[in-house]
Amino acid sequence: MAHQVSIFAENKPGRIEKLTRLFTEASINIRAITISSANGFGVIKVLVDQPHEAFEILRSQGIPSYLQEVIAVIMEDLPGGLHRVAEVLAENSINIEDAYGFVVASGKKAILIIQVESQPRAQSVLERNNFQLLTDEEIYKY
C-alpha cells in the first residue's frame, strides 16, 4: 500500500513555500505533487518518501492535512499504457475517483497513483491482471 498526504490550504502566496521548507528541513523528498483550487482554497496532494513523517510535521504545525492510502501501479510509458489500467478497472466496475501519474523511465515505465472507492478490491483486480503495485518504499526505487 502506498500513501499520499493531502493538504488543505488557502490559495495565497507562500503556501507552497512553507510546505516545501518544512519538508526540506526534515529531509523529506517530494516525488509528485498536484495542486487544485476552487473559490480561494486548494488541495495539495504530495507523494513523498516519508509520508507518515510528513503528515506528523504538518499536524504539528497546525496545517490541515490527511494521510491517505492510494494505489500506486506501474504502467508502460507508451501509447495505451493508461488505457490498459483504465480498461481493467472499468471492466470490473471500479471508478477512478482521482489520479495522477509521473514518468520514471521515458518510453518505458510510469507510475499511476489512483484513488478508488474500494481500494482492496481494486488492488486485487489489478494484481490478477498482472499489474505491479508499489508500496511507499518501492516507489522510490524507480
Please give the Cα distance from 37 to 136 (Å, whole number).
26
| pLDDT tens digits for range 75-127 | 999 999 999 999 999 999 999 999 999 999 888 999 999 999 899 999 999 99
Q: What is the pTM of this model?
A: 0.90
**CATH code of the domain occupying 70-139:** 3.30.70.260
Return left, alpha or beta for 13; rule: phi > 0 is left, psi -120 to 50 is alpha, else beta: beta
Please list the residue range(s) of the chain that carry CATH number 3.30.2130.10.
2-69
Triad 55, 58, 63: Cα angle to 5° = 125
pLDDT (0 to 100) of residue 77: 95
The three three-digit cell numbers of residue 111, written as one number: 507510475
In eight-state DSSP terms, residue 103 is E
Please list the residue range(s) of the chain that carry CATH number 3.30.70.260.
70-139
In the chain, what percentage of residues exceed pLDDT 90? 81
Say if CB 31 and CB 47 are below 8 A apart: yes
Q: Per CATH, is 2-69 categorized as 3.90.1200.10?
A: no
C-alpha 60: how far from its chain's center? 22
Residue 90 in 3-state DSSP?
A: helix
